Amino acid sequence: MKMSESTKVAGKRAETMVREKGAAAVVRVSWDGTYCSRGRVRLQKIVDGRIDPGPFVEIGQPTGVYGNAALKDFAKLSVQMLTLNLAAVAKATAIEDIRTSFRAIEPGRYIITMVYCDNGNNNAAMGFANLGWMGEKGDKPQIPLLGDNSIVIGKGEIVDAGIVDIVSTGSTGLFFGHDTARLAGSEAPQPLREAMKLNLPEIYARMTYTKFSAYGGLLLPENPKPKGK
């Protein structure tokens, strides 16, 4: 349960994230019960019962080449690769400790529109219909994923959102079909909590432990984007 110094430093950044954005959150992704070495959950804010058309936020262990700044980050990473700046490339794509990979996030209610599990050669994803070019949000209205797809982040909170499991439910057919799945949320298991309590007691004291659950209301279509944007 002992954490490395870099893992502890990452955990302590949660307090800075709260000051900058209003809250911080961490989540892990699993696929049929097996942890993903790198997983990410894409969230859209819900405003007045509708999916907000504004920028998404990703929590989990996303790399530097995903998110609303995807094109800028990808260009930067490409230059680093061309100039053989291996240290910078490794830092940008390194796998973070799933116990302390916090992300800054604004307070509010959120809905999951995409989830991704990367285990090297073995990957799983839901919601790629919502994905645009190079990791940007697509132009079509965002569609919530099935299952435990929503969470509320409170102001000033450091949130451990537990685990989002991609649960396989079958296939749509033999030819040209695709696998189907739903999301199942669960709180962080005791070993993860004990590791935080032992290694980062000051952060642990502020933690809110919760999980994703199914959105209980009627979710209306995405709000129209403001004119000129």
Q: Return the pLDDT at 37.
A: 81
Report pLDDT digits (tens) over 151-203: 999 999 999 999 999 999 887 655 545 678 999 999 999 999 999 999 999 99
Cα distance between residue 163 and residue 157, in whole Å: 18
Residue 183 CA, distance from chain mean position: 13
Tell me what pLDDT residue 178 has.
63
Alpha carbon distance 101, 209 (integer Å)? 15
What is the structure's pLDDT at 78? Answer: 44
- Spell out the residues 6+ positions from residue 224 whose beta carbon is closer than 8 angstroms to its own: 53
Torsion angles phi and psi, residue 147, rounded to 5:
105, -145
pLDDT for 70: 41
Residues of the chain with pLDDT under 70: 62-95, 129-140, 172-178, 221, 223-229
Element holding 201 (H helix, E strand):
helix 201-204
pLDDT given at position 173: 56
What pLDDT was estimated at residue 134? 46
Confidence (pLDDT) at 72:
45
Say if CB 45 and CB 68 are below 8 A apart: no
0.85 exceeded by the pTM?
no
Give the pLDDT score at 58: 92
pLDDT at res. 167: 94
* pLDDT number for residue 93: 42
Q: Using an 8 Å Cβ cutoff, are 192 and 97 in contact?
A: no
